[in-house]
């Protein structure tokens, strides 16, 4: 039954990855926390396990989303390159930051973040485009901050990268596509860091590689890779306004449940 849930979750996460330039972690992490709680996993590790597993699944959603956006010529690869330098550093620091936070407290932090992003999406709040894309140092610093936050929340960074690029006058479709490409190094660095820091934890369930739970990773990856391409195609054909608001409502409820 749990594996069926992971398959459905992977399909939903894949669509989100392609459609909005997010890795689906905003939904994956809360659902995994709920699932791991029902499975009786230790409360001190289940949130970290959900975050690490979410980052690992984003590796697969990113690959197909990137291919589809690249095929349409929308990825700004020079931006991806310099942001990745910072992302690799930030993701490692973010994983260490998350490890230092107790599981229940980490859930509260994720809940606050989910509510804030839900409000931003529902109201369509976007920073006004000002100036131009920063230079190499600016992009690296931005990547460091985005990688750090993404590792803590178990996300692909789209909810942070897209507004940043939009603010720096990158057209929305290019911002989404470039965000999808940045999600891959975030996921790789974050997942690897969570594997390492959780490797010898005695409270982890069977079939775990550090803070990555393999059955959930397999189930989500099987469907997310296919649906990410579907979502990326929709991003170039449909106005996502209504879908964003529906997703925001779901995200608000999920975040609120973490805070109550």
**Domain containing 99: what range?**
1-258
Q: Are 184 and 60 in contact (CB under 8 A)?
A: no
Residue whose structure tokens are 């603010």:
167
CA 171 to chain centre: 21
Predicted confidence band at 240 (pLDDT cuts at 50, 70, 90)?
low
**Alpha-helix residue ranges (DSSP H) falling in 100-213:** 103-123, 136-153, 158-167, 172-197
> What is the pLDDT averaged over residues 101-121?
89
Please name which of 192, 188, 161, 176 lies closest in space to residue 228, comparing C-alpha atoms: 176
Counted domains in the chain: 1
In angstroms, rounded to a whole number, what is the distance separating the alpha carbons of residues 183 and 256? 26
pLDDT at 146: 96
> What is the pLDDT averaged over residues 244-254?
78
pLDDT surpasses 90 at 12 = no
- Give this prediction's pTM: 0.87
In angstroms, rounded to a whole number, what is the distance separating the alpha carbons of residues 64 and 134? 28
Least confident piece of the model among 52-56, 76-80, 127-131: 127-131
Burial tier of 70 (Cβ tally within 10 Å: 0-12, 13-18, 19+): middle
In the chain, % helix, strand, coil (3-state, to 5) comes to: 75, 0, 25
pLDDT at 238: 65
pLDDT surpasses 90 at 34 = no
Least confident piece of the model among 136-150, 170-184, 192-206: 170-184
Interaxial angle between packed helices 103-123 and 46-71, expressed in degrees from 0 to 180 and rounded to the nearest 10: 40
């Amino acid at each position: 039954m749990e594996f069926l849930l992971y398959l459905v979750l992977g399909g939903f996460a894949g669509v989100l990855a392609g459609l909005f330039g997010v890795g689906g972690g905003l939904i994956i992490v809360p659902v995994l926390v709920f699932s791991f709680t029902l499975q009786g996993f230790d409360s001190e590790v289940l949130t970290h396990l959900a975050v690490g597993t979410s980052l690992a699944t984003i590796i697969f959603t990113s690959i197909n989303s990137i291919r589809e956006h690249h095929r349409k010529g929308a990825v700004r690869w020079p931006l991806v390159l310099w942001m990745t330098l910072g992302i690799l550093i930030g993701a490692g620091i973010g994983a260490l930051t998350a490890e230092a936070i107790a599981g229940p407290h980490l859930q509260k932090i994720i809940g606050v973040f989910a509510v804030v992003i839900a409000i931003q999406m529902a109201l369509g709040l976007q920073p006004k485009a000002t100036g131009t894309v920063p230079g190499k140092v600016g992009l690296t610093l931005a990547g460091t901050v985005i990688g750090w936050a993404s590792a803590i929340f178990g996300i692909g960074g789209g909810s942070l990268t897209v507004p940043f690029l939009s603010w720096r006058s990158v057209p929305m479709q290019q911002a989404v596509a470039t965000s999808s490409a940045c999600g891959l190094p975030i996921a790789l660095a974050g997942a690897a860091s969570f594997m390492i820091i959780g490797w010898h934890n005695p409270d982890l369930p069977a079939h775990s590689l550090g803070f990555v739970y393999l059955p959930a990773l397999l189930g989500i990856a099987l469907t997310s890779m296919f649906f990410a391409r579907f979502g990326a195609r929709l991003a170039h054909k449909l106005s996502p306004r209504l879908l964003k608001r529906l997703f925001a409502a779901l995200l608000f409820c999920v975040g609120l449940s973490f805070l109550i």
